[in-house]
Structure 1
Amino acid sequence: MAVLQELAGAWELESHQNFEAVLVELGVDDATKPKCLRKRPTAQIEVEGTSVNLKHTGPDSTVEYQIRIGQDFELTDPHSMKVIPMTANVEDDKLVYRAKEKIADSVDYVSYEIIEEKMVCTLTVNGASCKRIFRRM
């Protein structure tokens, strides 16, 4: 599970691809979308064995959750504030969360991986996917 150690550290959003499509699927209103697209949140990831503590901090909120690989946990969607039952695993050198059940207007899939020294977070909602690219701080 070397990917977990590679993800550990402090990260800052550098860019995103197709994020607006995911915001649409999350039900974010048109007035709020531009603000979401301008935000540059940070992520702090701490790893101890198979336990991962993730803290995402933006200008309006902080979301923190602890996961253990192979176990269920609850993810709070930062846009809708819905609580989503997820399962976390390591697959193909990625930290992956999958929703245990489909919840309307909420995240189905999240993955974190390292590509060319950047952390790439992929989010999928109702079939729309985006990539959020973070640089190490």
Structure 2
Amino acid sequence: MASIANFSGKWKFERHENSEALFAAMGIPEQAAKVMVAARPTLEIYEEGSFWVLKETADPTRPHFEKFKLGEATEITTMFGKRKIIASLEGGQLITRGTAAGDDLVAIREVNGDQLVARVTKSGVTGICYFSKA
């Protein structure tokens, strides 16, 4: 059974696959998508009280945070607005799903040894990011 301990720590970006198509499916403007494809973010996952925190930093002056409790609906702020998610641990995977009508974005993160793989799917299009333990 996975726990925060499996995911905790700092992760450095290795590579991504199919990000351009995913960003298009997400409706991200082309110029912003180009910047995002070129980014090499770090990811830090830690526990803060009873919350899980995912801190992604591509620009050190503007880190992106997702802070949530497993099994509870949570509102997060993205660079494109607010969205509601619910997170769960299922079969060793950390899964976040949109909860609003029409929000079919799903992120599945799992750790295999010293590698974290994040698969994000929107409208049937999947992009994958690979991170290694920093």
RMSD of aligned C-alpha atoms? Answer: 2.1
TM-score normalised per structure 1: 0.84
C-alpha displacement of 1:25? 1.4
C-alpha displacement of 1:101? 2.0
Aligned with 1:122 (options 116, 119, 124): 119
SS at match of 1:36: helix
SS at match of 2:120: strand
**2:44 is equivalent to residue 44 of structure 1:** yes
In 2, the alpha carbon distance for the partners of 1:16 and 1:76 equals: 23
In 2, the alpha carbon distance for the partners of 1:9 and 1:114 equals: 11
What CA deviation, in whole Å up to 9, does each residue of 1:80-126 have, x standing for no partner? 2x2111111101110111111244xx661111101242101111122
Q: Which amino acid aligns with 1:134?
A: F
In 2, the alpha carbon distance for the partners of 1:34 and 1:93 equals: 32
**Contact 1:3/1:94 (<8 A) preserved:** no
What CA deviation, in whole Å up to 9, does each residue of 1:54-94 have, x standing for no partner? 1111127311132111111123233x2x2111111101110
How many residue pairs end up in the alignment?
A: 133
Cross-structure match for 1:31: 31
**Contact 1:3/1:114 (<8 A) preserved:** no
TM-score normalised per structure 2: 0.86
In 2, the alpha carbon distance for the partners of 1:21 and 1:3 equals: 31
Q: Which amino acid aligns with 1:95?
A: L
After TM superposition, the structure 1 stretch with the greater mean CA deviation from structure 2, 69-78 or 127-136, is 69-78
**Contact 2:67/2:76 (<8 A) preserved:** no
- Ranges in structure 1 where 5+ consecutive residues have no aligned partner: none
Cross-structure match for 2:68: 67
SS at match of 1:32: helix
SS at match of 1:31: helix
After TM superposition, the structure 1 stretch with the greater mean CA deviation from structure 2, 41-50 or 87-96, is 41-50
Q: Which amino acid aligns with 1:65?
A: E
**Contact 2:13/2:132 (<8 A) preserved:** yes
In 2, the alpha carbon distance for the partners of 1:107 and 1:133 equals: 22
Q: Tell me: CA distance 1:53–1:30, structure 2 relative to 1, closer, same or farther (3 Å).
A: closer
The 5-angstrom pairing of residues 1-137 of structure 1 reads: 1-47=1-47, 51-59=51-59, 61-78=62-79, 80=80, 82-103=81-102, 108-137=105-134
